[in-house]
Amino acid sequence: MSSDGMRRQHRFFAPGRVNLIGEHTDYNGGLVFPAALSMGTYLTVTERFDHFSCGFSSDNEPKAFTLCGDALTERQQAWVDYPLGVFKEFSDRGWSVEGYDFHYSGDLPIGASLSSSASIEMVTAVALNALNGEPFTMLELVQMAQHAENDFVGMNCGIMDQFASGFGKKDCAIALDCNTLEYEHVPLEMRGLKFVIANTNKKRGLVDSAYNQRRSECQQALETLQPYLEADNLCQYSMEQFGQLSVHLSGDVLRRARHAVSEHTRVKEAIIALKNSDMACFGQLMNASHASLRDDYEVTCPELDFLAGKAQQFPGVLGSRMTGAGFGGCTVTLIAEDQVEAFIQEVGDAYELQFRIKADFYVAEIGDGAGER
């Protein structure tokens, strides 16, 4: 408590992200190209009257928690596991925070492939870091947040989402090499274009197990190919090398690996296209990415295929693809600004007629990464 008896309060924010291209390449040591959104998770941290427990509540969740001692680093099988996983990361390194209320709110749709989980983890990480006097760098916080999701929550995700939330920059996409963690902010010079996100609002079930299965299929492909040509990860193989090696693979494992290698190549081309302001080329690569995720990686669904397919035929659209893990969630479409309104109206109506669910649309605003706000 401060000397004037007021309870100290801090507010933090961590954004969600939209991945422009480069899906399921992060855990294959490849390139990704996400951008942080202006939508995300806010966390208000308020000093409590006691100095040993922590309260957790959220505008988006009915259940609140008051926890202390070991319970602050133990799974509760509830939404609070996302913050608690990060508490455990701090505690494992000898840092603790007690005597605060953590209240979460935000404007990011939950579980819609825009990294709501990563934004909760990252906002918790920057808050705990600030309350402890900033012992960790942003990269360390990103790695701790990813580790929390892998080990505590049980989703074997790559580093893209937490990285994008931590390292976002206004009006820039992040070209990240997930093998070396080298990255570059690439300005999004939109020249009369917009990225529009369409949320299928399809309830996703069992995403974690299907995701983890894709990861192990890629690992299996890598282990099969390594004796023929040494590599640390699938994205180290060029398209040409993979073409020769692929005789040693078959079925699902072949198709999963083919997606990883081809998607990595597409990201490389997309980054160059964006730097050259060749938005038509960027859009074609987005379309090719969607096709590969549908046919080889098999992580789309009828709702995503419908939205991307309708978009790809819509006047003024340069490209459209699913974004994030897949199985539901969102598409992202590169479209001429003056067509956005008609697009939202017409594609939205067609979607509702087909699936009896309303899609939600957001015109993407690209913002800064996590921090105190």
Q: Verify binding: residue 27, ligand GLA, rule CB under 6 A.
A: yes
Active site residue 4: no
C-alpha to C-alpha distance for 112 and 197, rounded to whole angstroms = 11
Q: Give the per-residue contact string, 322-361, with ligand GLA (x = CB under 6 A; - = no).
A: --xx------------------------------------
CB of 19 or CB of 339, closer to ligand GLA = 19
Q: Least distance to ligand GLA from the beta carbon of 11, Å?
A: 26
CB of 23 or CB of 177, closer to ligand GLA = 23
Output the six-digit token pair for 76: 């509760």
Measuring CA to CA, which residue among 362, 315, 334, 311 is closest to residue 189? 334
CB of 23 or CB of 217, closer to ligand GLA = 23
Using CB under 6 A, which of the segments 3-11, 24-32, 121-129, 137-145 binds ligand GLA? 24-32
Structural contact between residues 62 and 121, judged by C-beta atoms closer than 8 angstroms: no
What's 246's DSSP letter?
G
State which of residues 85, 106, 158, 283 lies at the interface with ligand GLA (CB under 6 A): 158
From 101, 161, 177, 296, the catalytic residue? 161
Our measurement of the distance from residue 178's CA atom to the centroid of its chain's CA atoms, rounded to an integer in Å, reads 13
C-alpha to C-alpha distance for 56 and 302, rounded to whole angstroms = 37
Output the six-digit token pair for 3: 């000397």
Name which of residues 268 to 327 contact ligand GLA (CB under 6 A): 324-325
C-alpha to C-alpha distance for 223 and 236, rounded to whole angstroms = 13
Burial class (CB in 10 A: 0-12, 13-18, 19+), 3: exposed
Using CB under 6 A, which of the segments 104-112, 132-140, 152-160, 283-291 binds ligand GLA? 152-160
Query: 3-class SS at 10?
Result: strand
Query: 3-class SS at 216?
Result: helix
Q: Least distance to ligand GLA from the beta carbon of 213, Å?
A: 13
Using CB under 6 A, which of the segments 101-109, 158-166, 230-238, 336-344 binds ligand GLA? 158-166
Q: Catalytic residue numbers?
A: 161
Applying CB under 6 A, the residues found at the interface with ligand GLA are 23-24, 26-27, 157-158, 160-161, 324-325
